[in-house]
Structure 1
Amino acid sequence: MASTTSGDVLPTGGRIFTSIPDLFFIPEFVFGGLVWILVASTYVSPDNPQGWVMFVSVFCFVMTTLWFFIFLCGANQSSIWPALDTGYHFVAAVFYLGASVALAIVTIGKAALTILPPVDENLKFYRLDIAAVVMSYVATLLYFLHAIFSAIRWKRS
């Protein structure tokens, strides 16, 4: 994998696909988008925790897309960008951790509903919620790893 030097702060263009922290952009899109889709396709109840999960997944998806295009276009060459990169991905990891815990608690609460009529519908939503919890924790891990590797890169620059 390519590493950055002090003269070249962050990779730009196609080189973002060859540097370690920036390789996490694509999986963050995929798993964050899956959380968004899975939560949106279930019966959103209770509103408050599920609304937080939707906010986090949409916010992180949009911001990661923006971040990706900033890196792709090469607008990230100022000396402040390594710190911003680390900060954003740490905040995203903390947001996703909070959303993952809230989603897991709501999903555990819905387990009792799988035996109530209509069983098929409740079981379908329960399984979608379980998948969303798994994807949410994977997204949390990806954002956390991205933050750690970005911090290492920031300290090297």
Structure 2
Amino acid sequence: MASTTSGDALPSGGRIFTSFPDIFFIPEFVFGGLVWILVASAKVIPANPLGWVMFVSIFCFVMTTLWFFIFLCGGNQSSIWPALDAGYHFVAVVFFLSASVDLAFITYGTGETYKYISGQPALPILELPGVQPDEYLKIYRLYISAVVMSYVATLLYFLHAIFSAIRWKRS
């Protein structure tokens, strides 16, 4: 097993801004935070699947922030950290992928319901209680944006997990 003084050691300090795959931290913040903001800016109805989306986006945002500061302060230099890094990003991929699928389903249902209440031929899949018909289009557009950001965040976490696993195997 390689020591932590080899070239494959995890970066710390300012080197995380220039090392691969750690440069993904900032885009993961941005896109994960945008999912959180976009879903929260619409009505979180239905609460069960969108509650999961909110949990995942907040959990990954907080954990990535914690992970980022651990790397920035140099607390990641023991031999267990490459495995923890790959493991955390794998869990984030699974969480974000499940949240993205849930969010896409809710978005589809919201779009079909908007079409139905605006007179187009469609089945009302998802009735949002307390939402006026003119708000459906706004919520639908916010959810579309959130779905795109969620899949981009999933891709970023996936790339980070793959390259972290490669780095772990080298160490």
**Category of TM-score, reference length = shorter chain:** over 0.9
Q: Deviations over 1:42-75 (max 9, x none)?
A: 1111110000000000000000000000000000
2:146 to 114, 119, 132: 132
Instruction: List runs of 5+ in structure 1 lacking aligned partners.
Output: none
Offset of 1:119 from its aligned partner? 3.9
Offset of 1:6 from its aligned partner? 2.7
Name the structure 1 match of 2:160: 146
* SS across alignment from 1:43: coil
Contact 2:107 2:140 in 1 (8 A): yes
TM value normalised by structure 1: 0.93
Offset of 1:9 from its aligned partner? 1.6
Question: Which contiguous aligned blocks of 4+ residues in structure 1 show a shift greater than 4 angstroms?
Answer: none
* Larger Rg, first or second structure (1 or 2): 2
- Please tell me the root mean square deviation across aligned C-alpha atoms, in Å: 1.5
Identity of aligned residues (%): 79
Name the structure 2 match of 1:53: 53
Contact 1:5 1:156 in 2 (8 A): no
Instruction: List runs of 5+ in structure 2 lacking aligned partners.
Output: 119-131
Are 1:77 and 2:91 matched, yes or no?
no
Are 1:13 and 2:13 matched, yes or no?
yes
Name the structure 2 match of 1:64: 64
Question: 1-side partners of 2:157 and 2:108: how far apart?
Answer: 24
Query: 1:34 and 1:8, CA in 2 relative to 1: closer, same or farther beyond 3 A?
Result: same
Name the structure 1 match of 2:36: 36
Contact 2:8 2:167 in 1 (8 A): no
TM value normalised by structure 2: 0.86
Q: Which is richer in helix?
A: 1
Contact 2:96 2:154 in 1 (8 A): yes
Offset of 1:111 from its aligned partner? 1.0
